[in-house]
């Protein structure tokens, strides 16, 4: 018996990944491209490098340098996908920031930074994507939360934990609202060795292999065998 050839899950689809210049976001973008999607790679600094990696592997991608810490900036990423590729089928809200700070030193700037990048970014892309996805008959939105939203064990992480907790609640609300339009909204709480998590995950035995960001990306991206002939 000859195995059926593999087919890409996302051929013809357009995906947006925020914060895709490095770490988890870059891994997600590469996985989506490998699964056949055209990817809009968002990052304020390193979008071009991820696009180059996708192109060198034979994929299709475009760089976007919008700042997702405002609703307008986040919406601009989705608009870029629609303007350049005509649709948006997948949004992965990955952009994040962590600036440890004790509660007694929290100020407007610290809170605005965390809530902006995490929550405003997630709400902005979702708000922009909902009408487009509904008109297409559906879509997928994946939001990035964290175990710290539920058990903030890392010191001085109140602002980060609060922002991630807000995304979790928003995801639940968005999932209910999107369901009637065929839009599935889910959240992932990844554990991966990245620049942001290096300080507290690097000591785990075999962390580089066990906590490779690619393991997280494979949760929702990849390929599957083609169906047998009818």
Catalytically annotated residues: 146, 160, 164
- Residue 69's contacts (CB-CB under 8 Å, 6 or more residues apart) are 113, 116, 117, 120, 121
Cβ neighbors of 214 (< 8 A, separation 6 or more) are 27, 31
CA nearest neighbour of 22 among 2, 3, 50: 50
Taking residue 119's Cβ as centre, other Cβ atoms within 10 Å add up to 21
Question: How many angstroms separate the CA atoms of 22 and 3, rounded?
Answer: 35
* Token duo for residue 173: 């609300």
Single out the residue of 75, 90, 96, 95 nearest to residue 32, CA to CA.
90
- Compute and round to an integer the Cα radius of gyration of the chain: 18
Q: Which residues of 12-28 are buried (b: 16+ CB within 10 A; e: fewer)?
A: ebbbbbbbbbbbbbbbb
């Amino acid at each position: 018996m000859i195995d059926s050839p593999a087919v890409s899950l996302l051929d013809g689809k357009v995906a947006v990944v925020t914060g895709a210049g490095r770490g988890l976001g870059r891994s997600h973008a590469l996985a989506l491209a490998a699964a056949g999607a055209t990817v809009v790679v968002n990052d304020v600094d390193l979008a071009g490098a991820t696009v180059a990696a996708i192109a060198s592997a034979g994929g299709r991608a475009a760089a976007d340098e919008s700042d997702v810490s405002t609703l307008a900036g986040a919406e601009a990423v989705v608009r870029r996908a629609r303007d350049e590729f005509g649709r948006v089928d997948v949004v992965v809200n990955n952009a994040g920031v962590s600036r440890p700070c004790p509660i007694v030193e929290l100020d407007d700037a610290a809170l605005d930074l965390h809530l902006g990048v995490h929550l405003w970014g997630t709400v902005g892309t979702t708000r922009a994507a909902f009408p487009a996805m509904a008109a297409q008959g559906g879509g997928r939105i994946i939001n990035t939360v964290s175990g710290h939203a539920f058990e903030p064990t890392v010191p001085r992480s109140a602002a980060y934990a609060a922002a991630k907790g807000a995304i979790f609640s928003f995801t639940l609300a968005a999932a209910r609202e999107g369901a009637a339009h065929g839009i599935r909204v889910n959240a992932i709480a990844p554990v991966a060795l990245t620049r942001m998590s290096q300080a507290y995950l690097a000591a785990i035995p075999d962390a580089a292999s066990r906590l490779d960001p690619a393991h997280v990306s494979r949760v929702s991206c990849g390929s599957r065998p083609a169906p047998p002939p009818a």
